[in-house]
Amino acid sequence: MMDLRGKDVAKRLRTEAAETIEKLKENNVAPALAIVRVGDDESSVSYEKSATSTMKKAGIDVKAFHYPESITEDEVVKNFQAINGDPAIHGILVMQPLPKHLSRETIASFISPQKDIDGLASANLGELVQESEKGFAPSTPTAVIEMLEHYEIDVKGKDVCIVGSSPVVGKPLGLMLVNRGATVTLCHIYTKDVKKYSQDADIVISATGAVGLITADHVKEGAVVIDVGFGYDEEGKPAGDVRFEEVTQKAGALTPVPGGVGTVTTAVLAKQVAKAAKGLSEKKGSR
């Protein structure tokens, strides 16, 4: 079985980002990322630490904006508009999940598409539908694509089953795979029988956050299995959607958790910030 680890993929992406950032700094452009977090969700705090570390290694300045969970949507929007309008900030990352009283769509509507490095804004999702490379795709789906390409797993003509239909992972990933010639089945909470679709798939991708959801019975012999989920098992250890020990006996290739897609996601963000800073500096220079 091929062990699909993200370390080498992430290293390449960080190197590419660092090269772009070095050139920008030579032209007096200092790339900066704003991380906006509301509340203290455990997974968000952990991800923020990881992202901050990756950004600093790539030479990107990080400005953290933390708000209490009790903050109103109007207050968030007011603060967010100031962050978005700051010319010294080139990229904005909104930590998710947001508290239930805050609308992801409302906040996303205030992000400049040129600073939307995690692909939340409708304009960037529209670019994805149009198969354009101009915009920013969400970082986690992009990390999955980077993993597949690094390990030379061709998706053209393949049957792909995605378990999880969130607007930040499942749906955009489905579009990205369709754009590359795959036939995609998108399963969700109302799917009557997930196994009916996953057992016939050449590639199974699970992105639900439900620890241990995907068993050996969900995949066919030799299938590629990508685990995008993250949580903690009964012993408090990091774990994904896939029951690794079971599925490893059957899959042809499998990502571990931790050490797989999550390792690549923050490196994708660094490359996106570099791209945003470059685009904004060129736009400013053309005026």
158-176 as b/e: b if 16+ CB within 10 A: bbbbbbbbbebbbbbbbbb
Phi, psi of 67 (to 5 degrees): -130, 150
CA distance 55 to 32: 9
Q: Which two tokens stand for residue 169?
A: 């992972």
Q: Residue 97 — pLDDT band, cuts 50, 70, 90? A: confident
Q: Residue 287 — pLDDT band, cuts 50, 70, 90? A: low
Q: Is pLDDT above 80 for 89?
A: yes
Go through the chain and tell me how many residues it has.
287
Q: Is pLDDT above 70 for 286?
A: no
Reported as type and span, the H/E element at residue 282 is helix 261-285
Which residues have C-beta within 8 Å of that of residue 28, sequence separation ≥ 6?
A: none
The closest alpha carbon to 225, from 189, 246, 210, belongs to: 246
Query: Strands 238-239 and 231-232: what pairing?
Result: antiparallel
Which residues have C-beta within 8 Å of that of residue 45, sequence separation ≥ 6?
A: 37
Q: Is pLDDT above 70 for 285?
A: no
Could you tell me the domains of the chain? 27-113 (3.40.50.10860), 139-262 (3.40.50.720)
pTM of the predicted structure, to 2 decimals: 0.94
Which residues have C-beta within 8 Å of that of residue 202, sequence separation ≥ 6?
A: 158, 159, 160, 223, 224
Q: List, for residues 197-209, the tens digit of each pLDDT value.
A: 999 999 999 999 9
CA distance 1 to 39: 41
Q: Residue 20 — pLDDT band, cuts 50, 70, 90? A: very high
Specify the range with the lowest mean pLDDT, choosing from 88-92, 233-237, 269-273: 233-237
End-to-end alpha carbon distance in the chain = 54
